[in-house]
Amino acid sequence: MFSLLLWVWIILGGILIGAGVHFIPVGGAPAAMSQATGVGTGTTMLAAASGLTGLIGAGTAYYTHPGDFAYTIVMGGVSAALMISVLAFIANVMYVYGAGVPLASAKVKYDPITKWRQDLYVSRGTEGHGSPMASFISGILGAFLAGVGGALVFFALAETYKAIPGFSATFGSYPAPYYISLAAAFAIGIFFLNCVMASYNIGGTIEGFHDPKFRRIPKSIAASLVVSAVGGLFALLISVMLPGGI
């Protein structure tokens, strides 16, 4: 059933996704040549890879504990954080043993967490390599936020679509009802909306919360608020527009 509270959850989820993307250390294409600190892939894609893995965790949690709000969002966050911690660690193993470079950041002189010196370990002509501790922790926090945001969106949509007549039915021997599938598909859409908004705001690479670009986050929050409000409204109104909708 359409509810204003569920719309608020979607907007809040969108803001968390947009904010979470800013925490995730993204090196982009230069990171593959060990020219930039962070994980070597695009902003949107890395956030989506971790956040949507969180969505799988949230979906399973919602399915095994129907309607349990806290469990769903916590499992979403933890699953996303787990994914990025494995990914960033294995990427760091590749930097250390495959490329033979130490993990270092070029944006700060001392790591804000370990207090280890950074600038001496940055090789000539590069902007750092790998994910040092500050970026690693920042990535885990960012993925947790993005996972929680994705789970909030999924929860709100699933609760809405559950009330549509016929959507609690299942297909053949497949046990999960229709509304979970529909909520997952729309949650992926709203996830990508917010990831792309945030990645335009970042513009290329970011090392985590210690990067000067991180200060751009208020703009992203405002953009996410608008985008999630409009996108969320359309996603929720489907429950009204479908035959038999409320």
121 binds other proteins (CB under 8 A): yes
110 binds other proteins (CB under 8 A): no
Structure token digits, residue 137: 């922790």
DSSP helix/strand/coil, 174: strand
Amino acid present at 78? V
DSSP helix/strand/coil, 105: strand
182 with 157: CB under 8 angstroms?
A: yes
The one among 74, 146, 190, 198 contacting other proteins by CB under 8 A: 74
Only one residue has tokens 């999960």, namely: 176
53 binds other proteins (CB under 8 A): yes
Half-sphere exposure of 20 (CA within 13 A, CB side): 34
Q: Minimum distance between the CB of residue 184 and other proteins, rounded to whole angstroms?
A: 5
149 binds other proteins (CB under 8 A): no
166 binds other proteins (CB under 8 A): no
186 binds other proteins (CB under 8 A): no
C-alpha to C-alpha distance for 132 and 70, rounded to whole angstroms? 32
Size of the site for other proteins (CB under 8 A): 82
Q: Minimum distance between the CB of residue 226 and other proteins, rounded to whole angstroms?
A: 25
Site map 4..43 versus other proteins, x via CB under 8 A: ------------------------xxxxxxxx---xxxx-
Only one residue has tokens 């060990």, namely: 34
The one among 21, 108, 137, 206 contacting other proteins by CB under 8 A: 137
Amino acid present at 164? I
Taking the least distance from each CB to other proteins, the nearer of 53 and 239 is 53
DSSP helix/strand/coil, 237: helix
Taking the least distance from each CB to other proteins, the nearer of 124 and 215 is 124
142 binds other proteins (CB under 8 A): no
49 binds other proteins (CB under 8 A): yes
Residues 86-105 that bind other proteins (CB under 8 A): 86-103
220 binds other proteins (CB under 8 A): no
C-alpha to C-alpha distance for 8 and 121, rounded to whole angstroms? 46
Q: How many CB atoms lie within 10 A of CB 166?
A: 11
The one among 71, 189, 216, 242 contacting other proteins by CB under 8 A: 71
C-alpha to C-alpha distance for 111 and 117, rounded to whole angstroms? 7
C-alpha to C-alpha distance for 226 and 75, rounded to whole angstroms? 27
Taking the least distance from each CB to other proteins, the nearer of 14 and 51 is 51
